[in-house]
């Protein structure tokens, strides 16, 4: 017999939030997102070749996006059938739901990075951050590494926590899987150069649409979390959002980044060595850009409290559902 979706989501969030469990156990299971990544690489090699026109690439990009979404929907239907018809089948849905969230994983990654920087292990920090973000970190100094780590935590709060939970609440496991798959497609296909501009257009725009409301919710969670974080400033988080969110190239990520920059009195974003697509990115915030490992840990604290607010929101929905006559 299947669990109620809200209860199952709460269990999955708590399970994945236990970071040690997530790191040890989820690596033992093949990830559904790894399958999506493999499909994207395959279609990229086969259908996005240099001789194709931009229109041809755009059409193929639409078809690939639709195909992967359809596969995710079909797989979700199978998982829901197992959860509803096989004894203890709900455990499969629970584990897969937890594996598609990144609360605990992001926490562990960021804390490990801060530890490397605190110990002046800059090369290890660069390697670790490159693996976490897929960015070129070879030329980043300590302050740029710390800013990038804070931005990594903030972005993952949107794409790996708030957005998946938001769409699960609306559409159950299919909404969660499709949202995560579209994000993986967008990350892979949103690369500089003419070859990807048209091919990845559909996935990137769909990803923007799916993250539009969650990004703004995430920024409010961050501002609220600042009220429970020593030295953080919730009012400044709100004012920085209102002033700087629209300056960031992404229609969504400027909001949580501005909230985090304001909350911690930092300056984030800006041009970055090794990232030509970000050469013209403006600075966000009015604080110091010379961020340190301590600032990364402060951001992780805000992130952790914001995750609790997100969890409390789902718990509140469950109470409303079962507590009202």
pLDDT digits (tens, 9 = 90+) for 17-27: 875 555 555 55
Is the pLDDT assigned to residue 188 strictly greater than 80?
Answer: yes
Q: What's the mean pLDDT in 138-143? A: 84
Provide the phi-psi class of 284: left if phi over 0, else alpha when psi is between -120 and 50, else beta: beta
Give the pLDDT of residue 54. 81
Which is higher by pLDDT, 265 or 123? 265
Give the pLDDT of residue 43. 86
**Number of domains the chain is built from:** 1
Q: What is the mean pLDDT of the chain?
A: 87
Is the pLDDT assigned to residue 50 strictly greater than 80?
Answer: no
Which is higher by pLDDT, 150 or 188? 150
Collect all residues with Cβ–Cβ distance below 8 Å to 273 and sequence separation of at least 6: 139, 140, 144
Long-range contacts of 196-201 (CB under 8 A, 24+ apart): 196/48, 197/54, 198/54, 198/55, 198/57, 198/58, 198/61, 199/44, 199/47, 199/48, 199/57, 199/58, 199/60, 199/61, 200/61, 201/58, 201/61
What length is written for the chain? 325
Least confident of 86-95, 176-185, 235-244, 271-280: 271-280
Tokens for 9, please give them. Answer: 């989501």
Collect all residues with Cβ–Cβ distance below 8 Å to 99 and sequence separation of at least 6: 16, 26, 29, 31, 32
Cα radius of gyration rounded to whole Å, the chain: 20
Cα angle, residue 156 at apex, residues 193 and 262 outer, rounded to 5°? 100
Give the pLDDT of residue 47. 81
| Share of residues in the chain with pLDDT > 70 (%) | 91
Q: Decide: 183 and 206 in contact? Cβ < 8 Å.
A: no
- How far is it, in rounded angstroms, from Cα 76 to Cα 283? 41
Is the pLDDT assigned to residue 191 strictly greater than 80?
Answer: no
For residue 124, name the pLDDT band (cuts at 50, 70, 90).
confident
Can you list the alpha helix ranges (DSSP code H) found in the chain?
A: 5-17, 19-26, 32-47, 54-85, 90-99, 103-118, 122-133, 142-157, 163-189, 194-197, 201-226, 234-244, 254-264, 293-323
Q: What's the mean pLDDT in 84-88? A: 87
Beta bridge partners of residue 234, listed in sequence order: none
For residue 133, name the pLDDT band (cuts at 50, 70, 90).
confident
Is the pLDDT assigned to residue 130 strictly greater than 60?
Answer: yes
Is the pLDDT assigned to residue 99 strictly greater than 70?
Answer: yes
Is the pLDDT assigned to residue 32 strictly greater than 90?
Answer: no
Give the pLDDT of residue 21. 54
Alpha-carbon distances, residue 270 vs 6, 22, 144, 259 (angstroms): 39, 33, 10, 16
Domain that holds residue 59: 5-323
296-317: per-residue pLDDT in tens? Answer: 999 999 999 999 999 999 999 9
Give the pLDDT of residue 321. 80
For residue 74, name the pLDDT band (cuts at 50, 70, 90).
very high
């Amino acid at each position: 017999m299947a669990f109620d979706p809200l209860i199952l989501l709460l269990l999955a969030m708590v399970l994945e939030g236990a970071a040690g469990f997530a790191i040890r156990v989820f690596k033992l299971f093949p990830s559904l997102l790894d399958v999506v990544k493999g499909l994207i690489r395959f279609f990229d090699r086969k259908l996005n070749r240099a001789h194709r026109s931009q229109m041809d690439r755009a059409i193929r990009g639409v078809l690939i996006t639709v195909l992967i979404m359809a596969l995710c929907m079909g797989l979700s239907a199978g998982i829901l059938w197992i959860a509803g018809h096989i004894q203890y089948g709900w455990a499969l849905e629970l584990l897969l739901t937890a594996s598609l969230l990144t609360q605990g994983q992001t926490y562990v990654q960021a804390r490990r990075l801060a530890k490397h920087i605190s110990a002046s292990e800059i090369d290890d920090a660069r390697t670790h951050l490159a693996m976490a973000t897929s960015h070129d970190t070879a030329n980043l100094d300590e302050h740029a590494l710390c800013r990038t780590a804070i931005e990594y935590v903030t972005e993952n709060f949107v794409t790996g926590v708030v957005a998946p939970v938001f769409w699960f609440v609306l559409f159950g496991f299919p909404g969660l899987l499709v949202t995560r798959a579209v994000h993986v497609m967008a990350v892979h296909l949103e690369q500089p150069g003419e070859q990807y501009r048209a091919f990845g257009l559909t996935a990137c725009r769909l990803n923007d649409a799916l993250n539009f409301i969650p990004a703004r919710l995430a920024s409010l969670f961050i501002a609220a979390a600042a009220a429970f974080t020593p030295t953080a400033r919730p009012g400044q988080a709100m004012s920085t959002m209102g002033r700087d969110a629209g300056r960031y190239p992404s229609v969504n990520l400027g909001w949580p980044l501005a909230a985090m920059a304001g909350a911690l009195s930092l300056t984030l974003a800006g041009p970055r060595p090794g990232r030509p697509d970000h050469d013209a990115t403006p600075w966000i915030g009015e604080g110091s850009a010379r961020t340190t490992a301590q600032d990364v840990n402060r951001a992780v604290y805000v992130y952790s409290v914001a995750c609790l607010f997100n969890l409390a929101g789902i718990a509140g929905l469950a109470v409303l559902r079962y507590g009202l006559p």
